[in-house]
């Protein structure tokens, strides 16, 4: 194999597929990414147990030569090393030449790197997925789903299904995430057959980082154990999580006793100050009383913080409720509205946060017993 490639093109391609390579692997070849040069394109593949990514670089784009293949072939090279190297080479073009025993010479200007490579045929194969797209959405919508729900996924593997984002396709798409202490829902208007799958949140977080153009259309093909996201020159495979995602619709209260509409940024800054006190379980107490709304956090060692909210409207009963400022802060990050609305039932029942205008996002937080 021998090819030349432009530095910036290589940096981008390696940067994309490296997201599928785990920093710690037991089999050395899995620390590598596979490069294949053909007469038409150069193909980069990264793979781990959860996701695989294939990024294709055409030799030419809009008449500009991006790469040139002198001899077809393929090799696997250490991804972390290559990723650092390509950012540091002295010149704008780089030549790869595979020599004996997969040793690969990488030349740029007066720098010559000889990397020990691995045989390409020993690299994991990509899943075989074919067929029509189950649905199509824009990269921007995909990013919204991730930004507005992924934080609510469980990080522990106690109940693996809760580490995922549930995609429920039925009269549109509902993305649902819960770690059993909170719940995030994002709804999108989409056409497609009824489907219900759960994709690891980590996989969708990596996927959302790949796109440069938010308008780009992404085709989603769902099979029994795998999902494939296809866009321009990109294939992104993720395994699906096994098991039934909990029925969450019954958790959402429908009648409320107290409504608090409040300036989002002001509340976020106040919660941010509350976080200065490292209280047990990151708990803040909100008291709505006498037309005032006050957040309080206290710790016997450090002291106490009281935040008197500004720019708010209260409807309904007084309430005193304790909750995680961390979860509430996460939930607020899902909104861009100027004002958000908190809807409470009572002190020990979950409450809901909605944007003033955007109604495609619902956040639910469970209170804490103090």
Among 90, 119, 243, 316, binds its own copies (CB under 8 A): 90
Closest separation between CB of residue 103 and its own copies, Å?
7
Q: How far is the CB of 86 from its own copies (least distance, A)?
A: 11
Please, which residue, 1 or 270, has the CB nearer to its own copies?
A: 270
What CA–CA distances, in Å, run from 92 to 5, 18, 35, 83, 135?
9, 21, 19, 15, 39
For residue 110, CA distances in Å to 77, 106, 107 come to 21, 11, 7
Q: Is 30 one of the binding residues for its own copies (CB under 8 A)?
A: no
For residue 365, the number of C-alpha atoms closer than 13 Å in the C-beta half-sphere is: 24
Q: Which of residues 118-147 bind its own copies (CB under 8 A)?
A: none
Give the H or E element holding residue 206.
helix 201-208
Instruction: Say which residue the tokens 């047990």 belong to.
Output: 280
State which of residues 39, 63, 64, 88 lies at the interface with its own copies (CB under 8 A): 88
Residues of this chain, 340-359, that bind its own copies according to CB under 8 A: none
Residue 306 · residue 294 · CB < 8 Å: yes
List 49, 116, 155, 214, residue binding its own copies (CB under 8 A): 116
How many angstroms separate the CA atoms of 178 and 165, rounded? 8
Nearest distance in Å: CB 158, its own copies: 33
Q: Binding string, 290-319, against its own copies, x = CB under 8 A?
A: -----------xxxxxxxxxx---------
**84 contacts its own copies (rule: CB under 8 A):** yes
* Nearer CB in complex with its own copies: 309/345: 309
Q: How far is CA 175 from its chain centroid?
A: 13
Minimum distance from residue 363 beta carbon to its own copies (Å) = 24
- Stretch of 15-23, 42-50, 82-90, 317-325 lying at the interface with its own copies (CB under 8 A): 82-90
Using CB under 8 A, which of 25, 27, 112, 251 touches its own copies? 112
- Per CB under 8 A, the segment of 10-18, 137-145, 231-239, 272-280 that binds its own copies is 272-280
By the rule CB under 8 A, 270 interacts with its own copies: yes
Span from 88-96, 122-130, 155-163, 232-240 in contact with its own copies (CB under 8 A): 88-96
Q: Which of 78, 231, 238, 324 binds its own copies (CB under 8 A)?
A: 78
Q: How far is the CB of 29 from its own copies (least distance, A)?
A: 13
Q: Is 285 among the residues that bind its own copies (CB under 8 A)? A: no
Nearest to 51 by CA among 219, 243, 235, 242: 235
Please report where in the chains the tokens 């093909």 appear, as a residue. Answer: 221
Q: Buried b / exposed e across 217-256, counting CB within 10 Å, b at 16+? A: ebebbbbeebbbbbbeebbbbbbbbeeebeebeeeebeeb
Rounded Cα distance between 160 and 157, Å, is: 5
Chosen residue from 62, 63, 64, 110 binding its own copies by CB under 8 A: 110
The yes or no reply on residue 103 touching its own copies (CB under 8 A) is: yes
Give the one residue of 49, 70, 92, 114 binding its own copies; rule: CB under 8 A: 114
What is the full DSSP assignment across 212-281? S-TT-EEEEEE-SSEEEEEETTEEEEEEPPPSPPP--GGGS----SEEEEEEHHHHHHHHHHHTTS--GG
The footprint of its own copies (CB under 8 A) covers 78, 81, 84-85, 88-90, 103, 110-116, 269-270, 272-273, 276, 301-310
């Amino acid at each position: 194999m021998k090819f030349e490639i432009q530095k910036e093109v290589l940096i981008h391609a390696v940067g994309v597929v490296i997201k599928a390579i785990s920093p710690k692997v037991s089999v050395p070849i899995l620390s590598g990414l596979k490069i294949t040069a053909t007469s038409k394109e150069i193909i980069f593949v990264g793979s781990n147990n959860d996701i695989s990514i294939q990024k294709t670089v055409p030799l030419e784009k809009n008449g500009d030569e991006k790469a040139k293949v002198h001899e077809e072939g393929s090799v696997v090279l250490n991804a972390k090393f290559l990723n650092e190297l390509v950012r540091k080479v002295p010149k704008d073009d780089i030549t790869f030449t595979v020599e004996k025993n997969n040793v690969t010479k990488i030349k740029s200007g007066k720098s010559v790197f000889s990397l020990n490579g691995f045989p390409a045929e020993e690299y994991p194969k990509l899943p075989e997925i074919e067929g029509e797209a189950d649905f199509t959405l824009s990269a921007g919508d995909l990013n919204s789903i991730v930004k507005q729900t992924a934080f609510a996924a469980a990080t522990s593997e106690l109940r693996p299904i809760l580490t995922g984002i549930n995609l429920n396709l039925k009269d549109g798409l509902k993305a649902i995430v819960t770690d059993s202490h909170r719940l995030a829902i994002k709804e999108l208007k989409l056409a497609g057959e009824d489907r219900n799958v759960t994709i690891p949140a980590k996989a969708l977080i990596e996927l959302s980082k790949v796109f440069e153009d938010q308008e780009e259309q992404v085709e989603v093909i769902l099979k029994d154990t795998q999902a494939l996201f296809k866009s321009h020159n990109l294939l992104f495979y993720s395994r699906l999580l096994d098991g039934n995602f909990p029925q969450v619709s019954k958790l959402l209260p429908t009648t409320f006793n107290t409504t608090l509409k409040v300036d989002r940024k002001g509340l976020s800054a106040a919660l941010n100050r509350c976080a200065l006190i490292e209280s047990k379980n990151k708990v803040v107490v909100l008291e709505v009383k006498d037309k005032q709304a006050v957040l309080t956090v206290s710790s016997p060692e450090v002291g106490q913080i009281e935040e008197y909210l500004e720019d708010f409207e209260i409807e309904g009963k007084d309430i005193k409720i304790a909750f995680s400022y961390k979860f509430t802060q996460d939930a607020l990050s899902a909104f861009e509205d100027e004002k958000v609305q908190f809807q409470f039932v009572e002190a020990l029942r979950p409450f809901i946060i909605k944007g003033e205008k955007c109604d495609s996002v619902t956040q639910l937080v469970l209170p804490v017993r103090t």
